[in-house]
Amino acid sequence: MAPRITVERHHPSLGAAADLARGLDLLADAKTGRMGALLRIYRPEPTVAFGQRDAHLPGFPAAAEATRSLGFEPLVRKAGGRAAAYHQGCLVVDHIQPQPDAIVQAKGRFGFYGELLAEALRSVGVQAAVGEIPGEYCPGEFSVHGTGANQSVKLVGTAQRVVSGAWLFSSVVVVQNSAPIRDVLTASYAALGLDWDPATAGAAEDLVPGTTVDAVEQAILDVYAAYTELVER
């Protein structure tokens, strides 16, 4: 990690499209050396971020319309993966960092930051671990899942964009109100013709009732602070 990371919090959100664009703008600034390491945290507007492969499927127009009908804005992100949904009960954590050899540790970052986020969730009582669970939406080897008495649910999806001279590691943490996310993913994946198990879509509060977005945000900052110096903007 960098010896110092500036923390930028956006409450409220800039808006679905503007939030995604902001991350890429910051990555461009980091690439050119106009800024140092930055940890950007925000609570997003209801959004379904489709992957590039999703946008080329015949069912994409219907999936986008289904998303809108449920109050979520459909967007296509630059990173890979499949559709992921989030709203104000979630946290998006964008870590942007200038680094000359940004590609070298790209895979290692997935494991490191996945475990960091799992540690943050464990600190608020969630039994969290890194690893894909069968049937999850936007499946990934380094997803973070949580386990309760009778279920395992995906709680964090991660993505990364690497350019010459910098990287952006983005994570979506689902904390509260999982039902709308499950509903919009069910509609979207059906339109796209993709199989998944809706039972894998959950939130931290489903496993530990009373878990709040505020508590998880502070837990993430606390875990980061154990590794590096944080400076609030």
Q: What is the pTM of this model?
A: 0.95
Least trusted range by pLDDT, from 95-99, 148-152, 156-160, 181-185: 148-152
pLDDT-based confidence at residue 163 (cuts at 50, 70, 90): very high
For position 149, what pLDDT does the model report? 79
For position 1, what pLDDT does the model report? 55
Q: State the residue for tokens 């875990």.
A: 223
The answer to whether 41 touches 24, Cβ cutoff 8 Å, is: no
Report the phi/psi class of residue 10: left, alpha or beta, with left for phi > 0 and alpha for psi in -120 to 50: beta
Angstrom distance (rounded) from CA 67 to CA 221: 32
Give percent above pLDDT 70 in the chain.
99
φ/ψ of 12, rounded to 5, equals: -85, 180
For position 213, what pLDDT does the model report? 97
Question: Residues 80-107, buried b or exposed e (16+ Cβ, 10 A)?
Answer: ebbbbbbbbbbbbbbbbbbbeebeeeee
For position 13, what pLDDT does the model report? 84
pLDDT-based confidence at residue 93 (cuts at 50, 70, 90): very high
* pLDDT tens readout for residues 51-92: 999 999 999 999 999 999 999 999 998 877 899 999 999 999
Mean pLDDT of the residues in the chain: 94
For position 200, what pLDDT does the model report? 96
AA identity, residue 191? A
pLDDT-based confidence at residue 144 (cuts at 50, 70, 90): very high
For residue 163, count CB atoms less than 10 angstroms from its CB and return exposed for 0-12, middle for 13-18, buried for 19 or more.
middle
For position 12, what pLDDT does the model report? 76
* pLDDT tens readout for residues 180-232: 999 999 999 999 999 999 999 999 999 999 999 999 999 999 999 998 999 98
Q: Is the pLDDT of residue 135 over 70?
A: yes
Say which residues have a Cβ less than 8 Å from residue 189's Cβ, sequence separation at least 6.
63, 82, 83, 137, 195, 196
For each of the domains in the chain, give its residue range(s) and CATH number, in order of start: 4-232 (3.30.930.10)
**How would DSSP label each residue in 28-54?**
HHHHTTSS--EEEEE-PPSEEEE-HHH
Beta strands in 105-165 (DSSP E): 128-130, 144-147, 152-163
For position 37, what pLDDT does the model report? 95
Rg (CA), the chain: 17
For position 2, what pLDDT does the model report? 58
Angstrom distance (rounded) from CA 162 to CA 140: 18
